[in-house]
Amino acid sequence: MHLHKYEKIWLAFGIGSLILFLVIVGINAFVTGHQPPSSDKTVDPQVVGEIAPFNKPGLKKIGKNEYQLVVLTSAFSFDVGTQDKVVEIPKGAKVHIIATTKDVVHGFEIAGTNANMMLEPGHISETTQTFREEGEFTLLCNEYCGSGHHLMHAKIKVVDQS
């Protein structure tokens, strides 16, 4: 099959760009460690509320400016360990988020950050996010979970403690 000379140039340019994209995301994922959330841990969704760490949702300090945030979701709420559903995080903290759902599929998104993952019954989801900027971020459900889906939210307050 014959290809026009310009078509060869175009395909070389196009395929070259695709390879460039793959190399960039590949290095970022496999070398720098920024893989998309892909935790392999499982749990029984019926009793997950009694199993650690989901028996005590909320923020825990685990190192110097390093925290774990445990979140247990159910239709239509985020349990982040506080009554008012506000989590205060010190500015610059690196937060390891671990979350799952008791019932249906939910979405876990902290708007304006890269923390964005699916929560599925029986599976644990994990991601890490560093909060460099002060301010209020909305944690919301971004996967349809039923009639109250859009009412499912919490708040992340990044505060300067220095």
Partner 1 sequence: MIETAVKVNKKDAKLALAHIIVAFIALFIGGLCGFLQVLVRSGKVQLPGGIGYYQVLTAHGVLLALVLTTFFIIGFQFAGMSRTAGALSNKARLTGWIGFWIMTIGTALTTFYILIGKASVLYTFYAPLQAHVGFYIGLALVVVGSWISGFAMFAHYARWKKQNPGQVGPLLSFMSVVNMALWLICSLGVAATVLLQFIPWTLGWTEGINVLVSRTLFWYFGHPLVYFWLLPAYMVWYVVIPKVIGGKIFSDSLARMSFILFLFFSIPVGFHHQLTEPGISPTWKYIQVVLTLMVVIPSLMTAFSMFATFERFGRSKGATSLFGWLKFLPWNDARFLVPFIGMVAFIPGGAGGLINASHQLNQVIHNTIWVTGHFHLTIATTVVLTFFGAAYWLVPHLTGRTFTKQLNQLAIVQAVVWSVGMTIMSGAMHWVGLYGAPRRSSFSDYGGSAQAADWIPYQIAQAVGGSMLFLGIILVLYIIVQLLWFAPKGEEEFPIGEAEETAEKTPLFFDKWWLWITIVVVLILLAYSIPFTHMIQEAPPGSPGYNRLC
Partner 2 sequence: MEKDKEKTYKKDSLKGTLFSVLAVGGFILLSWFTVWSLFLSRI
Catalog residues that contact partner 2 under the rule CB under 8 A: 4, 6, 9-10, 13-14, 17, 21, 24, 34, 112-114, 130
Distance CA 103, CA 111 (A): 23
63 or 112, CB closer to partner 2?
A: 112
Distance CA 142, CA 145 (A): 9
Residue 73 binding target from partner 2, partner 1, none, CB below 5 to 8 Å by type: none
Contact between 27 and partner 1 per CB under 8 A: no
Contact between 114 and partner 1 per CB under 8 A: yes
Candidates 16, 36, 49, 63; binder of partner 1 (CB under 8 A) is 36
Q: Of the listed pieces 37-45, 49-57, 65-73, 88-96, which binds partner 1 according to CB under 8 A?
A: 37-45
Of 54, 74, 55, 69, nearest to 156 by C-alpha is 69
The per-residue b/e assignment along 15-47, b for 16 or more CB within 10 angstroms, e otherwise, is: eeeeeeeeeeeeeeeeeeeeeebeeeeeeebee
Q: Minimum CB separation from partner 1 for residue 63, in Å? A: 24
Q: Assign 16 to helix, strand or coil.
A: helix
Q: Of the listed pieces 9-17, 50-58, 63-71, 89-97, which binds partner 1 according to CB under 8 A?
A: 9-17
Distance CA 103, CA 123 (A): 11
